[in-house]
Amino acid sequence: MTARSITVAAIQTSYGQDLAANIAKSEAFVREAARGGADVVLPSELFQGIYFCTRQDPKWFETAFPVDAHPCVIALKKLAGELGVVIPISFFEKDGPRYYNSVAIADADGALLGVYRKSHIPDGPGYQEKYYFRPGDTGFKTWKTKRGHIGVGICWDQWYPETARAMAVEGAEVLFYPTAIGSEPYDDALDTHLQWQRAMQGHAVSNAVPIVASNRIGLEDNEGVKQKFYGHSFISDHRGELVEQFGAADEGILKHTFDLGLIESYRADWGFFRDRRTDLYARSII
């Protein structure tokens, strides 16, 4: 089997209110990752500002832009072309009167391959996304980039095995999840980072595919509503082992190289996709 490898990277850092400063901070980390040989670099969810969904305020709709006009998309797709890396760019998308939590895929030549819109939209204390975002209408998507065939979900998507399986069936060789997750306002003592990691480690095991998850850190104050993000970004291999991980306050880049040919052979050997029973699933899970 032809030797093929991919080096993936995840950014973990804090973000503030200043859009330009957040873009510049992300650009600096992408450059650092590229210098270290990264092929795909993942910033966290909605990295261009604070995670504003902790409360409902119509002012935040003014921070949404069409994909071709969003400042962070414009800046990072240019950077992707300059550095020769792939960047899944999380952004608040405006499409006419419709608003989405989206990711634009910037290929290693700076071209935009398209947009994925978050399918699963949470609604609860601290995560009031249904006020801002429509459920995505793109379906689950994968992308044949110049650095590999990847799949990208967004935050709440990562808890659903159907998301990972759909992308794996479409041929994704690595799954990426930009995330914004942390404290629960109704219980300051609740820390779900282990459940969060284990859910995705399960996806890695059952699909024999590496997982890259990028979360933010720090305490954010959204006009009196405070949320502390718990970090713990990680990279899992195709067997579910955490090969790279951060703690709750680490800032920087996680990076790991995978042998895609070896993983492809492992996946075929386990037979997960050979033994699927799609004739039974529709009536069982809907």
Residues acting as catalytic residues = 45, 118, 155
Q: Strand 217-222 vs strand 225-230: parallel, antiparallel, or unpaired? A: antiparallel
Cα–Cα distances (Å) from 9 to 70, 189, 252, 256, in that order, read: 23, 30, 10, 7
Residues pairing with 127 in the sheet: 124
Q: Are residues 4 and 260 in contact, defined by beta-carbon separation less than 8 angstroms?
A: yes
The residue with tokens 């993936």 is: 8
Q: Residue 172 CA to chain centroid, in angstroms?
A: 14
DSSP characters over 108-130: TTS-EEEEEE-S---EETTEEGG
Residues 81 and 105: beta-carbon distance below 8 Å:
no
Assess contact for 244 and 278: CB atoms under 8 A: no
**Residue 165 has which token pair?**
């399986």
